[in-house]
């Protein structure tokens, strides 16, 4: 016998632990272990709650084992690291040039000071 969606949702939300789990998941996907951490609960205990939430359609779980780590789509993450590498090159070269420029500046200053002394 399947409960109507409203009943399932209400009973899923009626438990403070399950509400806390939902709050945590709204911040991003995570593993069952991480979810269990703030509560003094065993993994099977948390899994029971997750089942209720899943049946109510409030969460989706993968078919893999419990140890699903926080995972982002590889596409966007790859784009970001490509950009970061590009950005790092910019700074490596700019700072190389800054180093050279500072040497030049100080050499000029020393020459000017030397001229003043002997002038």
Inter-CA distances, 38 with 20, 21, 68, 80, Å: 9, 10, 18, 31
In this complex, which beta carbon is closest to another protein, that of residue 8 or of residue 41?
Answer: 8
Given the rule CB under 8 A, which residues bind another protein? 5-6, 9-10, 22, 25-30, 56-60, 70, 72-73, 75-77, 79-80, 82-84, 86-103, 105-106
d(CA 28, CA 113): 61
Nearest distance, CB of residue 8 and another protein, angstroms: 9
Give min distance, CB of 95 to another protein, in A. Answer: 5
* Nearest alpha-carbon partner for 11 in 23, 3, 20, 22: 3
**Contact between residue 84 and residue 40 where contact means Cβ atoms under 8 Å apart:** no
* Residue (5 or 44) nearer to another protein, CB: 5
Q: How far is the CB of 79 from another protein (least distance, A)?
A: 5
């Amino acid at each position: 016998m399947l409960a109507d969606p409203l009943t399932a949702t209400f009973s899923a939300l009626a438990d403070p632990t399950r509400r806390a789990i939902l709050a945590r998941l709204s911040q991003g996907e995570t593993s069952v272990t991480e979810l269990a951490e703030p509560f003094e609960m065993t993994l099977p205990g948390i899994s029971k709650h997750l089942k209720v939430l899943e049946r109510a359609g409030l969460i989706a779980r993968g078919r893999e084992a419990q140890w699903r780590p926080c995972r982002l789509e590889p596409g966007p993450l790859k784009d970001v690291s490509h950009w970061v590498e590009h950005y790092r090159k910019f700074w490596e070269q700019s700072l190389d040039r800054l180093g050279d420029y500072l040497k030049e500046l100080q050499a000029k200053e020393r020459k000017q000071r030397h001229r003043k002394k002997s002038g």
